[in-house]
Amino acid sequence: MADQETQPPREDQVHDDETPFAALPAEERLFRMRHSAAHVLAEAVLEMFPEAKYAIGPPIEHGFYYDFDLPQPLVPDDLEKLEARMRQSVKADLPIHGEQISKGRAREVFANQPYKLELIDDIEDDTVGYFRHGEFQDLCRGGHTDSTGQIGAFKLTHSAGAYWRGDEHKPMLQRIYGALYPTQEDLDAYLQSVEEAQRRDHRRLGRELDLFHLDPISPGSPFFHPKGATLYNGLVEYVRELYPRYGYDEVITPLIFNTDIFRTSGHYDLFPDMYKMMTGDDVEVGVKPMNCPGHCVLFDSTLYSYRDLPIRFAEFTRLHRNERSGVLHGLTRVRSFSQDDSHIFCTPEQLDEEMARVFEMVREVYRDLALGEVEVRIATRPERFVGNPEDWDHAEELLKELVSKAGWSYEIAEGEGAFYAPKVEFHFRDAIGRSWQLGTVQIDMAMATRFGLRYIGSDGEEHTPVMIHRAILGSLERFLGVYIEHTEGRFPLWLAPVQAVVVPIADRHIEYAQSVQRELRQRGLRVEVDASGERMGAKIRKAQLQKVPYMLVVGDREAEAGAVALRDRSGDDLGAVPVFQVGDRMVDERDSRTSQAPIDA
Ligand SMILES: [Zn+2]
Ligand SMILES: [Zn+2]
């Protein structure tokens, strides 16, 4: 669980005081329960492996962990034994004592514990915190329950390798994780949500549904298989279809540029994740991390009049960002991706209407993809930025006003804007309640000036256009990752890589099955025939596991009647239906982009 590792240990921020545990605020109590549980875990480990060296064990979101240097790798059985041993300590309800002791004394106590000795050396004070319960003793700054009986409901969940002090040049330790909540009910709810998330994990579904895989030969750069590419292209085609109606023009610009362009845009200094390299003739080039600089060059190639504006460039080409390998995650955090990206160049007078148009498109896309209510955040000026503060203030105020006018309420994300502009973020809440950022819209007063862009105004003079950066789904890779988990792979028919499987009952029905396939393919439907020798039940089960929207079972009766026995993926038997009617039904469902029914199924 990568998110847990990002929680910094809080040991040094908390001190035990005279307040009885029960009188503390709930959040502080939970923190102390998790912290104390880590001690109880270490006690159990030292008893089970007397030669173990123990390192650090902080409370974290959802629970706690402790790092150990152990004589052998842990197996799941060990966690059960350790948990049982921990429960003995809880039952014994041992008081937890704390005091400050001299460093000299601490070095004696922890003489056989090299990690503790290293920690003692790093402490600047003359004394160190020392805590014990029963026979167990630890080096610690405090923040505990009064006794081991108060640590709440917990479960050891898993173990994983972790470098001492997070440094890959230091020894690899074994980290044992535990989940902990005040009550068994809270703990069960949490464990269930973890299980639910694992069941929906897009990396797992990506494998099971044969959509994509990742390979260390190009980390963070997904290989989309035929079915995954069908899904991916289905999304691109969908957005592309909206463009004429909203007045966008699709363009294609280079992937690799002389880095001069990124010095002009400001990315060179403010965007560290850009890939840069020297060419043979000593020119530095960069791989574009976003499309805006290229679109500025494109805009600058024509001298537009105010009558030509707004100009709306849209582009789907690949973008690359050299994200640290530690943060890469399936499709949701990648190095190679594409966006449903666009840059709009308009006059200041056109800004309101343009933003309203963008918001309208966001609404339409959310509706078509059945993403539920749009949740909006406005991210404001970060610490490092380009442009002048007055323009920023103006743009931020304007965004708030326009978002309100669109009928949305919003939250403020202080300091989280892009370096060149504040942004509106669109968040989406998935089927299990998690919130994900998808698209963004930015009003940018800086970049057009940096590129010296201009248009001829109605006064015959040159003016600088306002630039709007906008992506609705955002990174298509990331969107797909989120969407796969949201739908659990049950895509609506219009996006499903395989829309129907024809299941012949016996080999003698294969020929008829193929004629059904041909007829439906003629209507542009993606239909497969399962001609494997397996039994009918197994074929249906397989199609259901692949989450194919429809199964068309054919035997003697169906062949004679020019029909199929229609089933949907939820297992509902829809009876015998003539093939042309199945085609009508599927075409209707595809063209109306019905999303809700198949997802609920
Ligand atoms: Zn402690
Ligand atoms: Zn942009």
306 alpha carbon to ligand 2 midpoint, in Å? 22
pLDDT of residue 15: 46
- How far, in Å, from the CA of 291 to the mean position of ligand 2? 6
Both tokens of 254, joined, read: 């280079």
Angle at 162 between CA 158 and CA 163, to 5 degrees: 170
Question: pLDDT tens digits, residue range 14-36?
Answer: 445 567 888 899 999 999 999 99
pLDDT above 70 covers a percentage of the chain that reads: 96
Identify residue 379 by its one-letter amino acid code: A
Residue 329 has pLDDT above 90, yes or no: yes
C-alpha of 217 from chain center:
22
Is a pLDDT exceeding 60 seen at residue 4?
no
What tokens appear for 306 in the block? 């105010």
Q: How crowded is the C-beta side of 477, counted as CA atoms within 13 Å?
A: 24
C-alpha of residue 312 to centroid of ligand 1, in Å: 58
Name the residue among 7, 96, 1 with its Cα closest to residue 43.
Answer: 96
Residue 280: the pLDDT is 85
Q: Which ligand is nearest to the CA of 32?
A: 1
For 73-98, b/e burial (b = at least 16 CB within 10 A) is ebeeebbeebbebbeebbeeebebeb
The span from the CA of 517 to the CA of 77, in Å, is 51
Asked if residue 287 lies in contact with residue 331, where contact means CB atoms within 8 angstroms, the answer is no
Instruction: List, as ranges, residues with CB under 5 A of the ion ligand 2.
Output: 292, 469
Asked if 141 and 14 count as a contact pair (C-beta separation under 8 A), the reply is yes
**What's the farthest any 2 CA atoms get from each other in the chain?**
93
Q: Which ligand number lies closest to the CA of residue 145?
A: 1
At 393, which helix (H) or strand (E)? helix 389-405
**Dist. CA 170 → ligand 1 center (Å):** 24
Residue 160, amino acid: A
Q: Of the ligands numbered here, which is closest to the C-alpha atom of 97?
A: 1
**How many whole angstroms separate alpha carbon 173 and alpha carbon 177?**
13
Q: How many alpha carbons fall within 13 Å on the CB side of residue 475?
A: 21
- 3 state SS of 151: coil
- Please give the distance, rounded to the nearest whole angstrom, from the Cα atom of residue 431 to the centre of ligand 2: 30
Task: State the ligand closest to the CA atom of 296.
Answer: 2
pLDDT of residue 444: 87
Phi-psi region of 494 (alpha: psi -120 to 50; beta: other; left: phi over 0): alpha
- The whole-number average pLDDT for the span 337-357 is 95
Mean pLDDT of 145-153: 94
Closest-lying ligand to the alpha carbon of 31?
1
Residue 330 pLDDT > 50 = yes
pLDDT at 571: 83
| Residue carrying structure tokens 């003079």 | 461
**Which of the two residues, 445 and 510, has the higher pLDDT score?**
510
| 37 CA distance to ligand 1 middle (Å) | 9
- Judged by its nearest atom, the ligand closest to the C-alpha of residue 59 is 1
Is 205 in a helix, a strand, or coil? helix
In the structure encoding, which two tokens stand for residue 218, read together? 């190009």
pLDDT digits (tens, 9 = 90+) for 200-254: 999 999 999 999 999 999 999 999 999 999 999 999 999 999 999 999 999 999 9
In this prediction, residue 13 carries a pLDDT of: 40
**Which ipTM value was assigned to this complex?**
0.73
Partners of residue 284 on adjacent β-strands: 278
Confidence of residue 432 (pLDDT cuts 50, 70, 90): confident
Counting runs of H as helices and runs of E as strands, what totals does the chain give? Answer: 20, 30
Distance in Å, CA 557 to ligand 2 centroid: 59
First to last CA, the chain: 30
pLDDT at position 108 is 94
> Could you list the active site residues?
292, 321, 339, 341, 343, 423, 469
Q: Of all residues in the chain, what percent carry a pLDDT higher than 90?
A: 80
Distance 255 CA to ligand 2 centre (A): 14
Q: Which residues contact 360 (CB under 8 A, 6 or more apart)?
A: none
Q: How far is the CA of 172 from the centre of ligand 1 (A)?
A: 22
Q: What is the pLDDT of residue 11?
A: 41
Residue 299 has pLDDT above 60, yes or no: yes
Q: What is the CA(402)–ligand 2 centre distance, in A? A: 19
Whole-angstrom distance, CA of residue 491 vs CA of residue 487: 6
Instruction: Give the residue from 482, 532, 523, 483 showing the smallest Cα distance to 500.
Output: 523
**451 CA distance to ligand 1 middle (Å):** 56
* Least reliable range by pLDDT among 183-187, 356-360, 368-372: 368-372
Which position has the token pair 């201009």?
Answer: 454
Rounded-to-integer distance, Cα 4 and Cα 58, Å:
11
Mean pLDDT for 143-163 is: 94
Question: Is residue 346's pLDDT more than 60?
Answer: yes
**Angle at CA of residue 75, ends 70 and 80, nearest 5°:** 100
* Token pair belonging to 421: 């502009």
Which residues in 9-48 are b (16+ Cβ under 10 Å) and which e?
A: eebeebebeeeebeeeeeeebbbbbbbbbbbbbbbbbbee
Residue among 51, 69, 257, 33 at smallest CA distance from 154: 33
Show Cβ contacts of residue 217 under 8 Å, excluding neighbours closer than 6 positions.
none
pLDDT tens-digit profile of 36-57? 999 999 999 999 999 999 999 9
How far does CA 505 lie from the centroid of its chain?
A: 42
Question: Any bridge partners for residue 329, and if so which?
Answer: 333
Domains and CATH numbers, the chain: 2-200 (3.30.980.10), 289-487 (3.30.930.10), 500-600 (3.40.50.800)
Task: Round to whole Å and give the CA distance between 209 and 220.
Answer: 20
pLDDT for 149: 95
Query: Would you state the pLDDT for residue 17?
Result: 57
The average pLDDT across 80-108 equals 95
What average pLDDT does the structure give for the chain? 92
Mean pLDDT of 109-121: 95
C-alpha 594/C-alpha 601 separation (Å) is 12
Q: Percent helix, strand and coil across the chain, each rounded to 5?
A: 40, 25, 35
The set of residues, in sequence order, having a beta carbon less than 8 Å from that of 433 and lying 6+ positions away, is: none
Q: Which whole-number Å values give the CA distances from 4 to 141, 175, 179, in the listed order?
A: 21, 12, 11
Q: How confident is the model at residue 597 (pLDDT cuts 50, 70, 90)?
A: very low
